[in-house]
Chains A and B, each alone.
Chain A
Amino acid sequence: MPIVVHLDDVLAARGMTLTELAERIDITLANLSILKTGKAKAVRFSTLEAICRELDCQPGDLLGFEAE
């Protein structure tokens, strides 16, 4: 998929683990892992909002487009 998820990079920059983020935004670790590994088919605005709020970032920092 040409949409790539940079959640790992943003987490590393903030010094936060995926588990910690999952607890803070009340989303299961399994679902967050699906997003992190780029296996998600869609992302809810509410999920994006929660991640951006906790990581103090913009949606564009989390998602990117790479032409195949």
Chain B
Amino acid sequence: MLAKARIVLKALNILNWGVGVILIAFLGYMGFAAPGRLMAIARTGHPSLNPEAVVLAVRGTVLLLPVMAWLVDRILRTLVAIIDTIPSGQAFTAANAVRLRRIAWFMLAIYAIDLVWGVALYSQLGPYSGWSFTLSGWVASMMLFILASVWQDGVAMRDDLEGTV
């Protein structure tokens, strides 16, 4: 089970970077190399939209994509690092509590960027931005912070128990 989860996480990270690179290449081309073409598509497809706002939205997204891909990369790598400690019986350690808290911060960063950029996009493009507010990520990161604290307490309790005769 753990070995499979490890493989899935590694594959997801490859997918994360693969999709990231493809999107950056495609949107980067449209936003920076061919903005005229992008504006033409916007004018024909959605005449109500401001074509310049579409170009700015695409450019901003291109700049944010590497940051998002890096944050996802950090989350997946940290999860793999936690999984790697399980077979040796070293999962319940302070180091893993720190890793869990780090994942919570990365997740919080992802959803903070999503919120700020999403609101900015929505204000310019409305429903065409494709963005909608979601609470699940915020709840998940809060849950991870709580779990990290519980984990930390558990580690302290285990340390105490180890010295109990």
Contacts and interface: CB of A to CB of B under 8 A. Distances in A.
Interface residues of B, number: 5
Interface residues of A, number: 12
- Most A CB contacts (10 A, CB to CB) among B160, B162, B165 go to B165
B163 interface: yes
Nearest to A30: B165
Interface in B29-83: none
Contacts of A47: 165
B164 interface: yes
A39 B163 CA distance: 7
A44 B163 CA distance: 11
Contacts of A35: 165
Interface of B: 160, 162-165
> Which are the 7 A-B pairs with shortest beta-carbon distances?
A41-B163, A42-B164, A35-B165, A40-B165, A31-B165, A43-B165, A47-B165
Interface of A: 27, 31-32, 34-35, 39-44, 47
Given A31-B165, A40-B165, A41-B162, 18 more contacts: A27-B165, A32-B165, A34-B163, A35-B165, A39-B163, A40-B163, A40-B164, A41-B160, A41-B163, A41-B164, A42-B160, A42-B163, A42-B164, A42-B165, A43-B164, A44-B164, A44-B165, A47-B165
